[in-house]
Amino acid sequence: MKNPLTTEQVAELFGVTVRAVSNWQKDERDPLPVADRGVGVKSEYDPRAVFLWGLRRFGSADIIEVDRERALNLRADTRLKEIKEQQLRNELAPVALLTHALATLAAQVSAILETLPGLLKRARPDLTATDLETIKRELVKCQNACADIRINVDSADGESGEVGAGGVSETPAATAE
């Protein structure tokens, strides 16, 4: 045994008090194995024997499940911190802000499109009424698309970047440029 564990280290390993470790040593059913013990000498434990005893005593599934949950929590915390950092660097924007910005932009585009037939008639007097009607029909289609702009946050694949109604990406939090 190269690096024996102290009573304090075993207590920390299992998340219990030193007293609990001492009680485990005295357990008649399945005592905690002690590598070296004597009067006035601190107990030392073989790490491998302690590990195997812990598996027997507490069950491997419980230990593995706790470790798995800790790993999942750590990953989730890390991702949350990354998202908050991206928000602070203005790389991410809330969906409500993006929705408002898109609605404002769509209203401006619609207003500009509405003025085009008059501008074209003045700039190109040779355009016929049929030409202007064709242009107006196409502009109405564009205005309807602008009116239908929305961000679909219920998309099944939130990071696919698929384009939804009105040509807007359906991602829940879009990247700001």
Identify the helix (H) or strand (E) that includes residue 114: helix 95-123
> In terms of Cα–Cα distance, which of 16, 45, 48, 17 is closest to 33?
45
Shared-domain flag, residues 104 and 160: yes
Task: Tell me, yes or no, whether 80 lies in a domain.
Answer: no
Which has more pLDDT, 110 or 153? 110
Which DSSP letter does residue 169 get? B
Q: How many CA atoms lie within 13 A of 95 on its CB side?
A: 12
pLDDT at 160 over 80: no
Residue of 20, 51, 13, 19 lying closest to 33 (CA atoms): 51
The residue among 149, 171, 145 whose CA lies nearest residue 102 is: 149
Q: pLDDT by residue (tens digit) across 17-51?
A: 999 988 888 888 888 888 766 665 678 888 888 88
Quote the number of domains for the chain: 2
CATH number for the domain including 37?
A: 1.10.10.10
* Domain, as residue range, for 22: 5-58
Question: Within a domain: residue 77?
Answer: no
Q: Tell me how crowded residue 98 is: count the other CB atoms within 10 A of its CB.
A: 19
Residue 119 has a pLDDT of 92
Query: Is 140 within the bounds of a domain?
Result: yes
The structure tokens 């005295």 sit at: 26
- 60-104: pLDDT as tens digits: 655 556 777 888 899 999 999 999 999 899 888 888 888 899 989
Instruction: Tell me phi and psi for residue 152, to 5 degrees.
Output: -90, 100
87: tokens are 């928000």
Q: Is residue 63 part of a domain?
A: no
The pTM of this model reads: 0.42
